[in-house]
Amino acid sequence: MAQLLSTEFEGRVGPVLRLSLWTAILTVLTLGFYRFWMKTRLRRHFWAAVRPDGTPLEYVGKGIEKFTGFLIALVFLALLIGVLALLLVYASYVLFNEEIEAYLAAGLLALPLFFFASYRAKRYVYARTRWRGIRFALEPAAGKYALVAMGHVLLALVTLGLLWPRMTFKLEKFRTDRTFFGDQRLHQGGKWTGLLGAFLPVLLSVWGAAIAGGLVSWWFSEGADPENMVIALLPLFIFFGMLGGTFFYTRYRVVALRYLANHKSAGGIGLISNLSFSRVLGINLGGYLLTNLATAAATFVVGALASLILVALYPGLSDFGIFASGAVSEGTSIGEEGMPSAEITVFFALFLYMVTFLFFSVFRQCFVVFPTWRHYASTLSLTGGEHLAQIRQRDRDEAGQAEGIAEAFDLGAAI
């Protein structure tokens, strides 16, 4: 009988809050340079909290690797995008006497870079992740992955989204079949049609909204009466169609993640995922509500403290009270006697923006990312644990340039 290994999640919100707040403050004070070390420290904390069979994951990446990779990527992207943009704009003016076509072409050419960057980022993370002392690895195939991904995107567009689940499955299979745990290669089983049922509600919602939008445009172009009841109700169909599409796509992502996990294997080892969509939805709805409320409260407190300092320096702001910093950031009474200068106004506007962004990032880590990881980990089990002893260590994968291009595009969400 296959040995079943459960996964534990050892972590509390308090340490995550302290770590997120402290590293976010350092990131702001260093004008963003500390973000590479911030992500490294957060990853080490989150990885260590996930403990399959009681043994924590290890993340051994370094902030300096991310920083140097980011600098190299900036030079590469500056040359590539800069030269490419000039050539496209020139060609567009010559052929069409307009530049809109150049921007569209540049957007299409930038899309493969996103897939290229995401694959390289995953390769770096896998190469710096260990469990039971055994390294993970992802074979170098970022260029091929970008080409394959673009082909699937084209198929999904041509079929009006019908083959989107096929793209989801094939791209995951491309990555999984090139992933190693020690000397053992992973395999993605299952079929893409296993995702089709969960995606159909998304298609129906989006198609319904698109048809309603097309009818509205056509009727108005034909001079239809705006007070016609049918025309008046169509915007509601568009709204609820897009709302339904968002809801069902969120469900689709959870169902797809669970299906794909349940069909992954590595020799005699397999995964069992019991992800709950209702739980994930509740975490996101409640988490973002708490995040926004906490962000507003924390920003208000910081703004009030900043207002006290401003009123002491500029008595003319006393009429604004605890809202003085907000009034200054909006440019109220700039340059008047006893009031802040334009430079001070710009500074406080940037200050309040950075404070708001900082608090949102911190509270999102605590109220959304942390509980999501906890649910994902606690609902994941491994089968065939008796085969783990047969897996041997593999050579270290350098995964050069770390996540440079992904950092330049700011991919990968929180951590």
* Structure confidence at residue 267 (pLDDT): 82
Residue 57's SS3 state is strand
* Structure confidence at residue 354 (pLDDT): 80
* Structure confidence at residue 108 (pLDDT): 64
φ, ψ of residue 292 to 5 degrees: the values are -70, -40
∠ CA 382-385-390, nearest 5°, is: 130
* Structure confidence at residue 306 (pLDDT): 76
Query: DSSP secondary structure string, 14-36?
Result: HHHHHHHHHHHHHHHHTTTTTHH
β-pair type (380-383, 269-273): antiparallel
366 to each of 38, 131, 171, 274, 400, how far by Cα in Å? 15, 25, 30, 23, 31
**Rounded Cα–Cα distance for residues 413 and 361 (Å):** 10
102 within 8 A of 91, measured Cβ to Cβ: yes
Residue 179's SS3 state is strand
Name which of 53, 100, 40, 25 is nearest 271 in CA terms. Answer: 53
- What would the two tokens of residue 373 be? 């990881």
| pTM of the entire predicted model | 0.83
* Structure confidence at residue 355 (pLDDT): 82
Torsion of CA 153, 155, 159, 164, to 10 degrees: -50
Mean pLDDT per segment of 10 residues, for the chain of length 415 residues?
85 88 84 83 92 92 79 61 58 53 60 83 90 92 92 94 96 96 94 95 89 70 57 68 89 96 92 94 95 90 78 67 64 58 71 83 92 94 88 76 52 50
